[in-house]
Amino acid sequence: MRPAAPGSQGGAAVVELLAGFLVLLVPLVYALVVVADVQRALLATSSAAREAGRVYVTASSRAEAERRAAVAHREVLANFGLRAGDPRAALQVEAACPARAPVGCTGGFGPGAEVRVVATYRVAVARLPLVGALGVPSVTVGATQRSRVDPFRGVAR
């Protein structure tokens, strides 16, 4: 084997290939991680809104319904690895009695009440390894669930 001549380009192709590969691979992996985080947050908010709406309409009092909805929201987010106490997570519950609701529906609670639950989560897009999310650019994902309290609830059989 002959030694490389002075000024030779031996081995440069390997370095160029490695540099080009890293320039293409790192952004691709980063984009895949962000997309996976957005998908996880989307599934979490969808499940959290559905569960919060379900437990709200099955509660026996408005205070219990609001407490149960908050607990369901927190637990579902935790199941997906997200923290409900995080300022990026939000839950909004609106309940109202429509005009055609039975007599027992008062103040947005009771038979026939309509409940709208909106769960949102902001996913940080900019993050650094070992530092975490930088917080400025983010994507907000969310889900809305509409539920109705059983209009025949409380009717003796």
Question: What are 44-103's pLDDT values in tens digits?
Answer: 999 999 999 999 999 888 899 999 999 999 999 999 998 767 888 999 999 998 888 778
Mean pLDDT over residues 93-115, rounded?
Answer: 86
78 contacts: CB under 8 Å, gap ≥ 6: 84
Q: Taking the mean position of all CA atoms in its chain, how far away is CA 88?
A: 9
Better pLDDT: 1 or 147 = 147
| Residue bearing tokens 């993050």 | 127
- Among candidate residues 102, 101, 104, 117, the one with its CA nearest the CA of residue 65: 117
Give the sheet arrangement for strand 138-148, strand by strand.
89-96, 114-124, 138-148
The pTM of the full predicted model, rounded to 2 decimals, is 0.78
Mean pLDDT over residues 105-124, rounded?
Answer: 89
Torsion of CA 78, 81, 84, 90, to 10 degrees: -120
- Among candidate residues 30, 113, 121, 107, the one with its CA nearest the CA of residue 78: 121
Residue pair 133/83 in contact by the 8 Å Cβ criterion: no
Q: Please report, for the chain, the start and end positions of each structural domain, with discontinuous segments joined by +.
A: 12-148
Residue 102: what are its φ and ψ, rounded to 5°? -60, 170
Question: What are 125-136's pLDDT values in tens digits?
Answer: 876 666 666 666
Percent of the residues in the chain that have a pLDDT greater than 70, as a whole number: 83
